[in-house]
Chains A and B, each alone.
Chain A
Amino acid sequence: MRKLNTEESSSAKTDSTPSWLTSRVPLAQVLEFLSHKTVPWHRGSHWYLFGGIALLLFCVQVATGIMLMFYYVPTTDAAYESVLLISAKVPFGWLIRSVHSWSANLMILALFIHMFSVFFMRAYRAPRELIWVSGFLLLVLAMTFGFSGYLLPFTKLSYFATKIGTDLTKLVPVIGEEMRLFLLGAETISGPTITRFFALHVAILPPIFVLFLIAHLVLIQLLGMSEPMGTKESRSIPFFPNFVLRESIVWVLVLGLLAVLSVYIPWEVGEKADPLAPAPAGIRPEWFFTFLSQSLKYIPATVLGIEGEALGVYAIGLGGLIFFLVPFWDRWADRGIRHWVVTVFGILAVIYLVTMTSLAYFKPY
């Protein structure tokens, strides 16, 4: 009798919980939607998982970034010391900082892989042009996150790399110098610069990134995932639980990798920035900007009377713009044609990025 009562009571509790919740949140519709939602599954589908990886790493970034904010002090006098404090004194501070740095770099790597996989599969073709546009802008925003975050520990390398980076903004026609001054908040990198970069990193970029992320995800929901060109009989799998389980396996593996990397190759702090000291040898921006800095080294000071550095930046910018606008000029893809011009353009872009990045690390001069 006593046993029966316990079971009834337990059953009543279980029943009452969903009814209480479902009466307030329309979970049933969501679950109904998810149970019927399917996603296409084909040989190239694994590449789409990189989008999910980037999303996971962004969440890790937010979580670890908030933790770091408890101790980080954005001033020239205390920034470096606060990072030292986090790395040496705060319990597990070294781990949080290392995870933050590693996840940032892995996120950008995942975004690059995701972008090129979408490019080569022509997944940007109509009607998914805006998914591509929002995704590309998310990569640009992520790189801006990296640029602004690189200065925050105020180390020697980050100081001079940021100086070179911000000097490049001078090349923007008409408003270049004003842009540089706006970014720095002073003539040179100093107290106001750290404050501005910190504000950009933790207050301005995150909401913009989230807005674009929502737009990207909503558009994917509305338009569905792209299927490879020429597929006659498409195979699809249920989003829940099949796709979710696949993504979860990858997420678990990525989290494991992140833990191993953070522990085995912890992110070093480096030396404190000294604005009065000469620039040290081997200044290099974050790896995802090295293609740009390395390319500029090969361009002569002047080319046909034009400043070489400016010419290089404009040329690379033009290449990036053509890449960004691919859904609007690749009309072959809309007709189901995988044109060689687009493929060669993509391959050359990958070769260029990989070569320049490798040279920056293995043969910088």
Chain B
Amino acid sequence: MRRIAWISIKSFGLAAIVLAMGAGLAAAQTPAKPAGKSQNACINCHQNLPGKLGDPVKKFKKDVHAQKGITCVGCHGGDQTSSNFAVIKSKENGFIGRPKVTDIPELCSKCHSHLEYMRKFSPSIDVGQLSSYKTSVHGKLLAKGDTKVATCASCHGSHGILPASNAASSVYPPNVSETCSKCHSDTNYMKGYKIPTSQHNDYLQSIHAELLMVKRDLSAPTCNDCHGNHGAFPPTVNSVSGMCGQCHVNNRNLFDKSPHKKAFGALRLPECAVCHSNHKVLRASDKMVGDTPPSVCVSCHAKGSKQLQTAANIRAQLEGLKNVIGQANNKLESAEHLGMEVSEAKFNMKEARSALIKVRTEIHTFSFPDVKKKTEEGKKVAEGALQAALAAIQEFHGRRRWVIFPIVLTIFLAGALYLKLREIEGNDRNRG
């Protein structure tokens, strides 16, 4: 799912790309056509102009549209081949100048919603951005005349649009949260919308941001992976697990079967976010489960309740497995340092560690018997490896004990030979 979402952001990159500049409202009743070798009167003039009038020319050189042969008239209309200023900017030639904010989505969609045109650039390209946008909060507010909301150019830019796969693009995954935060973290700008502005700060502290922005793991989520991109919307309380479940499939499936699903739905609590938070999703810890703080269970369940007892039991199972794995690892390391061959047991430990991950996933059932069953599987493997390590260490010490025999034999033989030598040489001296 997330992949699909990302494909659409990528395609929009290309899109907005080919789009934003795409088709002039007036001039481009049909998709823009790449310019021929004729002159570009717009650039000839604007490249010599200072500030806002000259900057677009500089930025446009790197723009993906420019690379695909789309020129200024593709979006702004007019006739770039003329040398007559009146003809260039004439309404008859479809000149629209700077498009209005409310017109931008339609302007871009002239190309980007046109499948036959767009698939020349990529056979599987998405052309549904406009229809998605219309369902988004941004799109709905725009339709009501709110021009503060994001349109295509707000996220993709206008004259320097890069494909989403380009690391310098504003919609390249690690840059997305920064792009969204330009509006969503601005308290003045967001005044009146009655939504928090701390999302970006919270997100930056999350494990998702660490993976995406520090470790550059592009599979880690950013804003659009949960909220959508063109169809951006706030998830409803009972759709949260669907969101997280795009990646955390097993956790979602187990949660959906758990008693919490129904209870959270009744209480209108946002599922996964209740324990893990929404934007500030910290690295999950085993301490989150149990009957004492910092367990998240205690924030809802009463002290001494049956549910907290279950949480405590689950935590005990988890710690028990971790303890056996830790012991096995330590002993295997010791055996290895002693030069003993324990590679088979070490290999088996991968299964034990995998079992620990499964147990942590199984916690989302909130069922002690289920967690215990998975824990026992892991313990069995880890204890097997522990026994192998202990046996190897025991064998090592056994070997050391046995080495006393060659030592004694060596001393005895060397001593006997030395005495014999002395006897012979003593006899020789007596004779000589």
User: Which residues of A approach B to under 8 Å, CB–CB?
Assistant: 84, 87-88, 94-95, 237, 241-242, 245-246, 248-249, 252-253, 255-256, 259-260, 263-269
The answer for the CA separation of A265 and B339 in the assembled complex, in Å, is: 7
Choice from A245, A259, A266 contacting B420 with Cβ under 8 Å: A245
Q: B12-39 CB contact bits vs A (8 Å, 1 = yes)?
A: 0000000000000000000000000000
Q: Is the CB of B406 within 8 A of A256?
A: yes
> What residues on B are CB-neighbors of A255 within 8 Å?
406, 410
Q: B302 within 8 Å of A by Cβ? A: no
Contact B339 A268 (CB under 8 A): yes
Q: Given A84-B341, A256-B406, 7 other A-B contacts at CB below 8 A?
A: A249-B414, A249-B417, A252-B413, A263-B399, A263-B400, A265-B339, A266-B339
A88 closest partner in B (C-beta): B341
In the complex, what distance in Å separates the CA atom of A268 from the CA atom of B424? 45
Smallest CB-CB separation from A263: which chain B residue? B403
Tell me the minimal C-beta distance from B107 to chain A in angstroms: 50
Closest chain-B Cβ to A45's Cβ sits at a distance in Å of: 14
The answer for the CA separation of A256 and B338 in the assembled complex, in Å, is 20
Give which listed residue, B340, B403, B410, contacts A252 with CB less than 8 A.
B410
If A253-B410, A255-B410 touch, does A245 touch B341 (CB 8 Å cutoff)? no
Tell me the total A-B contact number using a CB cutoff of 8 A: 64
Q: How far is the CA of A265 from the CA of B402 in the complex (A)?
A: 14
Sort A-B residue pairs by CB-CB distance and give the 7 closest, nearest first. A256-B410, A266-B339, A88-B341, A259-B406, A87-B341, A245-B421, A263-B403
Q: Shortest beta-carbon distance, A166 to chain B, in Å?
A: 27
- Chain B residues closer than 8 Å to A269, beta-carbon distance: 341, 343
Q: List 13 A-B contacts (CB under 8 A).
A: A84-B343, A95-B399, A237-B425, A248-B417, A249-B417, A249-B418, A252-B413, A252-B414, A256-B407, A265-B339, A266-B339, A268-B336, A269-B343
Specify which of B342, B413, B414, B425 is in contact with A242 (CB 8 Å cutoff).
Answer: B425
Q: Contact string, B338-357, partner A, CB cutoff 8 A, digits 1/0?
A: 11111110000000000000
Please indicate the chain B residues that have their CB under 8 angstroms from the CB of A265 in the complex.
339
Find B424's partner among A241, A259, A266 (CB 8 Å cutoff): A241
Q: How far, in whole Å, are A95 and B420 apart by their CA atoms in the complex? A: 32
Contact A267 B407 (CB under 8 A): no
Give chain B nearest CB distance to A157 CB in angstroms. 15
Contacts of B425 in A (CB 8 A): 237, 242
Please report the total number of B residues contacting A with Cβ < 8 Å.
26
B409 in the interface, Cβ–Cβ < 8 Å? yes
Say whether A88 contacts B410, CB under 8 Å.
no
Task: Enumerate chain B interface residues (CB-CB to A < 8 A).
Answer: 336, 338-344, 399-400, 402-403, 406-407, 409-411, 413-414, 417-418, 420-421, 424-425, 428
- B344 — nearest CB in chain A belongs to which residue? A88
A245-B424, A246-B421, A249-B417 known; A260 vs B339 contact (CB < 8 Å): no
State how many angstroms separate the Cβ of A32 from the closest Cβ of chain B. Answer: 19
A259 touching B421, Cβ below 8 Å: no
Task: Report Cα–Cα, A237/B342, bound state, in Å.
Answer: 52
Question: Closest residue of chain A to B412, judged by CB?
Answer: A252
Decide yes or no: A259 and B343 within 8 Å by CB, A242-B421, A242-B425, A245-B421 being known contacts.
no
**Bound CA–CA A253/B418 (angstroms):** 12
Distance in Å: Cβ of B420 to nearest Cβ of chain A: 6
Which residues on A sit within 8 Å (CB–CB) of B420?
A: 241, 245
Once A242-B425, A245-B421, A248-B417 are accepted as A-B contacts, the answer to whether A260 and B407 lie under 8 Å apart by CB is: yes
A260 to B428, CA, bound (A): 36
Give Cα distance in the complex from A252 to B416, angstroms.
11
Most chain B C-beta atoms within 10 Å of own C-beta, residue among A237, A252, A264, A266: A252
Interface contact A94-B341, CB-CB below 8 Å: yes
A259 to B408, CA, bound (A): 12
A266 touches B340 (CB 8 A): yes
Report A-chain residues with C-beta under 8 Å of the C-beta of B407.
256, 259-260
Question: A242-B424, A253-B414 known; A260 and B343 CB under 8 Å?
Answer: no
Q: A264 and B403: CB pair below 8 A? A: yes
What chain A residues lie within 8 Å of B406 (beta carbons)? 255-256, 259-260
Q: A43 CA to B341 CA in the complex, in Å? A: 46
Known: A264-B403, A268-B339. A256 touches B409 (CB 8 A): yes
Chain B, Cβ-Cβ closest to A243 = B421
State the CA gap A269–B341 with chains docked (Å): 8
Q: Contacts of B400 on A, CB cut-off 8 Å?
A: 263-264
| A327-B343 Cα distance, complex, nearest whole Å | 51
Q: Which residue of chain A lies nearest to B392 when distances are taken between CB atoms in the complex?
A: A88
Contact A260 B403 (CB under 8 A): yes
Give Cα A265–Cα B340 distance, bound, in whole angstroms: 10
A256 proximity list for chain B (CB < 8 A): 406-407, 409-411, 414
Could you tell me the distance between the alpha carbons of A168 and B395 in the complex, rounded to whole angstroms?
A: 42
Q: Smallest CB–CB gap between B203 and chain A, Å?
A: 33
CB distance from B410 to the nearest CB of A (A): 3
- The distance in angstroms between the C-alpha atoms of A237 and B428, with both chains bound, is 10
Kindly state the separation between the CA atoms of A245 and B402 in the bound complex, as whole angstroms.
27
B146 → A minimal CB distance (Å): 54
Residues of B within 8 A of A267 (CB): 339
Complex CA–CA separation, A237 to B403 (angstroms): 35
Of listed B338, B344, B420, B421, residue having the most chain A CB within 10 A: B421
Q: From residue B158, how far is it (CB to closest CB) to chain A in Å?
A: 43
**A99 shortest CB reach to chain B, Å:** 11
Q: With the chains together, A87 CA to B338 CA distance in Å?
A: 13
Which residue in chain B gives the minimum CB-CB distance to A266? B339
**Which residues of chain A are within 8 angstroms of B338 by Cβ–Cβ distance?**
266
Q: Tell me the complex Cα distance, A241–B402, Å.
A: 32
Kindly provide the distance from the CB of A250 to the nearest chain B CB, expressed in whole angstroms. Answer: 9
CB contacts (< 8 Å) of A249 on chain B: these are 414, 417-418, 421
Contact of B417 among A94, A252, A259 (CB under 8 A): A252
B residues in contact with A264, CB < 8 Å: 400, 403
Closest A-chain residue to B345, C-beta based? A88
- Residues of the A chain whose Cβ atoms lie less than 8 Å from the Cβ of B343: 84, 88, 269
Chain A nearest CB, measured from B350 CB (Å): 15
For the complex, give the distance between the alpha carbons of A259 and B411 in Å. Answer: 13
A-chain residues with CB within 8 Å of residue B417 when the two chains form the complex: 245, 248-249, 252
